[in-house]
Structure formats: structure tokens, C-alpha cells
Chain A
Amino acid sequence: MTLEAGGSLKTGSGTGTSSLGSLFKALNSGTTTSRQIVESCLNAIDKRDGSIGAFLHIDRERALQAAEASDLRRSTGEVRGPLDGLPISIKDAICEAGQPATCASRILKGYVSPYSATVIDRLNAAGAIPLGRVNLDEFAMGSSSENSAYQLTHNPWDLTRTPGGSSSGSAASVAARMVPGSLGSDTGGSIRQPASLCGVVGLKPTYGRVSRYGLVAFASSLEQIGPFSLDVFGAAALLQTIAGHDPHDSTCVNTPTEDYLQTLDTPLTDLRIGVPKEYFGEGLDPEVQKIVEEALAVYASRGAKLIPVELPHSKYSVATYYIIAPSEASSNLARFDGIHYGYRSPNFADLESLYAASRGEGFGSEVKRRIMLGTYALSAGYADKYYVKALQIRRLIRQDFDAAFQQCDVIAGPVTPTPAFKLGELADDPLAMYLSDIYTIAANLAGIPAISIPAGWTASGLPVGLQLQGPVFTESRLLRAARMLEIDRPWIDRLPPVAGG
């Protein structure tokens, strides 16, 4: 028996899974079991992942055992919450004890983590089932999956196109209905951009809302782990499960987590939506613009006010980001040195050449480019000119948001300037690739939460997302706003070709 999109149940066909919300209901009503859901996911992966390339590693036995344990709990009335028994794919940069964590890098080939990230512990405690480890751009650096050392991930809506990145496998595995949810990480848009390009919900929490303990660090001051889901309910349930204070992460705040599920179906009244003019200028694909504007019209029809706001420093966010993120990355990736774990090159004569050869051969070209850039920006004589300057502009970018949120509750706009581009299209032009992050990066610099929700499809059938950004710790508001669009314009029934759409 399998679940079809929209929560309708079919038996035996194995063509796909549904949203976390409908599976939750199906489990509760007893029309399916966790074991059936997991089996159906595994079937879907067997059928589809050959052409998608989302999964790097699957531990079937463990998943099936966990499903049986969940079914047992359900039979004795000990259900742990809305995710109990539901399979979730995990970006291969989030560590799980006993599982590989390659970060899609050659340098971590064969690496098995001896410990679990806090978010994994929380998923397990909630009864959710980490089903498999999914592809990414190496060390989360990239926007297309092309920087993975292992495989390309393809967009389920058009296999010749990128699913986005860096959480490529997370977005694609959910969009292709191979799993109902996923955990990814967002350093400069790495959840929202692939969510948008794949037509699923993706949320980047406020910096400090979710523990980073166990997330292999790329740019520590910018990144957060966050959920992917087909539906807003799933994103809320996943966030509910992983959010909250963690004594293992000094930057994870101690403020209480809201109940994201309780308020989810209550539409926001008198919603003030800020629309920055900077987000609708040169470089924005007209079709994307049209879809975003239509989504805004939906909100207006539900009583929201659209308010023009200004984010004058947003045009500096790409340059600012590509100084800060590589600077932190150059330091965070120093630990991959061929000494204590990971790849050691056989081509060395002494200690220094062991380091240089292992790192030179172990890292891919984008990772090396960013390490070079960051090392340069932090090096003697350049730090003030680049690194410190970028941190100052970062504050101005944050102040822009603070000022804008005096006038509005959320800021809306596109997630990406274009729909999914062709694999290979931007691969040789790093700067052009960096510019594709133009709308997502500022939220990371400012530390504010942001969500990408499916807003529509282009004429050629490519999904386009709407981005909503809010003040810090307004995840609940963003999820409710997202749910308003989902109720008005449900997207879940639209299936990608690979899943029978």
C-alpha cells in the first residue's frame, strides 16, 4: 500500500509518498503503518533515484527497524508526536552516529561519524526515521549540486536542470516524492533556493533557533539547519521537533520555542507585507516576477496590505556574503588535513606536503576557491579591507531589515532571479553562480528567518517559489502566512513527471 499525493491511499502501486501532514493523518486513522510508509519510500527511491541522484547512502535495515518500533509504539498508544514513524532524508553534512557523513567531498570519503547532531537526536526522540543521506554541493558550497564530488542531483521537474543547492538532495528527494520531508542547511539560501527550484516548502530558521551541533560547519555565523516538506504542516512539525535550546551549541538561544502547529491554520489578519523595490529590478526573470506578484495578489485578496519598503544595502549582500562566508569557511575547513580523519594523499614527502597534497586532492575546485578567497580576506594586511569592512556592512544590512520591519510584518519577494537553470549552464562562472543567491543571502547575514513556498509554475512547468522573511523568531508568523497561500492555492497535487505527474 502506498500513499498518493494529497493523502489518498493506494495499495501496491508504490508510485509515491504524500505530505507529512496527510501521512500523519493516515497513521492516526490506522489506514497505514510506518512500515508501509518506509517501504513505499524505499520503493520510490529504487524507482526514481536512478534518474534523480538524490541519495548518497541509505540504511534500509535501520529504517525498517525504526518503522516497526514506531508501529509498536502506536499500537500501545505511546506515539511521540506528529513525526513518529515518518521517514526523513538528511543532508549529508548533518552527522548521525554510525552513518557516513561525506559532505559530498572526496576528503570525507568513508568517514563515519561517531556521534549524532542534536537535530538527529531530536528526530529520533520524536520517533521520526532518518531514512538516508542526501547529496549536496561539496561542504554546502554551491547552488546547483554540480559541486558534489560524487554525483549530480537532477531537478525532478526537468532532469536536465539543477535542483538548486546546496541542499540539492533534500529538495529533490522531497519533490520527487521519495520522502515526505528532509533536513537541509541554509548558509546563503541553501534551503530556500533548492526548495523554490523544486517546488517544495523550505524554511531557514532564525540564527540561533536550531542547534548547529553536528552540522559540518561551512560558515558558522550564517548557517542554520532547517526543514524541507511538501506541505507547510510538515515544515512546522519538523521545525517544532528540531528547534530549541541546546547546551552543546553556544550560539543556540535559550528563548522558548513557539508551538508552530497550534496556530498554523489560523490565518493572519491585517497582515502587512513589505515589498522591497530592490527585489523587483534588473535581473529578475519576468515569469518569476509575474508568479511572485500573483502570489502577492492572493494575500491582498485575503486582506493583507502590500507596503513598499526599502532595503538600500541589499545590493551589497552578495559581495558582503562572499567575504564573510569564505573567511569562516577557510578556518572551518582547516580541520580536514589528512591527519586525524578523512583523506590522506599518498603523494607526500613530509608533513607540510602531506597537508597540501591531501587538501589539494581532497577538496573540489569550488571549495578550494572559497578557501583561497577566505584565506586572502583574513590574511595580514587585507583583513580590515575585506573581512572587517564586510562585517560592518553586514550590520547595515541588518539595520535595513530592522527599519523595514517597523512598517511591515513580513517581507515578500522572489527566492531566485530565475527558475531552475540547466545543469552546466553556470558551472564555469563562479561569480554568476554567486549572483544567483542575491535574494536569499541577506537573511543569513541578518540572521532573520525566511521561508520559500511554491507560488506557481512557469509555462514550461518549472516551479517558482515565493520568499517570506520575518523579524527574528517569527517562524510561527512565516508558517501561518505560508499556510494562507497553501490553503488558497494548494500545490501538493501537482506531481513532477518523475513521480507520475
Chain B
Amino acid sequence: MTQPQQATETSPALPLSDVARIARLARLKLTENELAIYANQLGKILEFMTVLREVDTTGIEPMISAVPCENVFRDDLIVESLPRKLALANAPKTDGKSFLVPNILG
């Protein structure tokens, strides 16, 4: 297939401050090295995305889903919950009753 133009070596990197902001928003701790690599790669990928600008999408309804379904409901009927032990079984830290996290107010 005719492939869209590939991003070039000279593609602009995403500004490091943007990468850091996005990493914070996504709660990802990245090393300096990772930040630099992602800045570079994301820059290239985003430049590659600019190919989409050439498509006129005026008046085109965004396609959120491929199923034309609507009004899918469940009845308000109780289904047995998981035993607490099982609900907590995969948790990194619990007191046997609740999930434990570092003091939120602290």
C-alpha cells in the first residue's frame, strides 16, 4: 500500500517540559534518559500524525464505537460480592480489612 510519508530524522522532538507534564499527568516516573527518548520518539510519532490534517473531516460524526448498540441495561438485582479475602488477595498491602496506602493527609 502507498505508505504515508515517514517522519524524518529531523522531526522535532516534543519539548521536554511537555513530556514531563504528560508523565506527571499519567503518573509515570521517568528517568532523564527516558524523558529524552520519549521526547524524541513522541515528536516523530506526532509529526507522522500530521498526515491526518490533509483529510477534510468537516461534518463527519466521530466514530466512538463500531457497534451500533444502545440501551444496554442490567436489572437492579443483587449478585453475590467477592469474599473480602479474595477482594484483597492481590493487594500489595492490607490490614486484612482494607487496602492500605501511605497516609493521604500526611
Contact = CB atoms under 8 A, between A and B. Distances in A.
A395 B62 contact: yes
Interface in A281-319: 281-284, 313-316, 318-319
Contacts of B60: 392-393, 395-396
B74 interface: yes
B69 A394 contact: no
A310 to B, nearest CB: 12
A388 B14 CA distance: 21
A348 B102 contact: yes
Interface in B18-52: 18-19, 22-30, 34, 38, 41-42, 44-46, 48-49, 51-52
Interface in A330-388: 330, 334, 337-344, 348, 350-357, 359-361, 363, 365, 368-369, 371-373, 375-376, 379, 386, 388
B48 A396 contact: no
B22 A341 contact: no
Interface stretch (A9-17, A23-31, A32-40, A430-438): A430-438
A431 B45 contact: yes
Contacts of A431: 6-7, 41, 44-45, 48
B17 interface: no
A471 B93 CA distance: 49
B86 interface: yes
A316 B55 contact: yes
The contact size tier of chain A is 35 or more
A394 B63 CA distance: 6
A223 B72 CA distance: 19
A372 B22 contact: yes
B78 interface: no
Contacts of A379: 22, 25
Interface in B53-106: 53, 55, 57, 60-67, 69, 72, 74, 82, 86-87, 89-93, 99, 101-102, 104, 106
A278 interface: yes
A359 B26 CA distance: 9
B66 A447 contact: yes
Contacts of B74: 247
A79 interface: no
A341 B1 contact: no
Given A316-B52, A322-B49, A368 B34 contact: yes
A157 interface: no
Contacts of A284: 1
A279 B3 CA distance: 10
A330 B58 CA distance: 27
Given A359-B29, A395-B61, A343 B52 contact: no
Given A372-B26, A390-B52, A354 B7 contact: no
Task: Report which residue of A359, A369, A392 has the largest number of chain B beta carbons within 10 angstroms of its beta carbon.
Answer: A392
A355 B63 CA distance: 32
A341 B99 CA distance: 9
A208 B104 contact: no
A375 B25 contact: yes
A279 B26 contact: no
Contacts of A355: 27
A124 interface: no
Contacts of B27: 334, 337, 352, 355-356, 359
Given A247-B74, A368-B34, A343 B92 contact: yes
A392 B62 contact: yes
A371 B67 contact: no
Contacts of B51: 315-316, 319
Interface in A446-490: 446-448, 472
Given A221-B64, A282-B1, A396 B42 contact: no
Given A114-B89, A281-B1, A342-B92, A373 B45 contact: yes
Contacts of B86: 114
Given A251-B67, A253-B67, A389-B52, A439 B45 contact: no
B3 A207 contact: no
B66 A318 contact: no
A250 interface: yes
A391 interface: yes
Contacts of A434: 45
A365 B61 CA distance: 34
A316 B16 CA distance: 28
A32 B7 CA distance: 56
Contacts of B90: 110-112, 114, 340-342
5 contacts: A351-B102, A356-B27, A371-B28, A396-B57, A447-B65
Given A254-B69, A315-B4, A356-B29, 13 more contacts: A251-B69, A280-B1, A315-B51, A316-B51, A319-B49, A341-B92, A368-B30, A375-B22, A376-B46, A379-B25, A389-B52, A395-B63, A396-B60
Interface of A: 110-112, 114, 207-208, 221-222, 247, 250-251, 253-254, 278-284, 313-316, 318-320, 322-323, 330, 334, 337-344, 348, 350-357, 359-361, 363, 365, 368-369, 371-373, 375-376, 379, 386, 388-396, 398, 430-432, 434-435, 438-439, 445-448, 472
Interface of B: 1-4, 6-7, 14, 18-19, 22-30, 34, 38, 41-42, 44-46, 48-49, 51-53, 55, 57, 60-67, 69, 72, 74, 82, 86-87, 89-93, 99, 101-102, 104, 106
Which 10 A-B residue pairings sit nearest by Cβ, starting from the closest? A447-B66, A360-B29, A391-B62, A341-B90, A344-B92, A392-B57, A356-B29, A395-B63, A207-B66, A355-B27
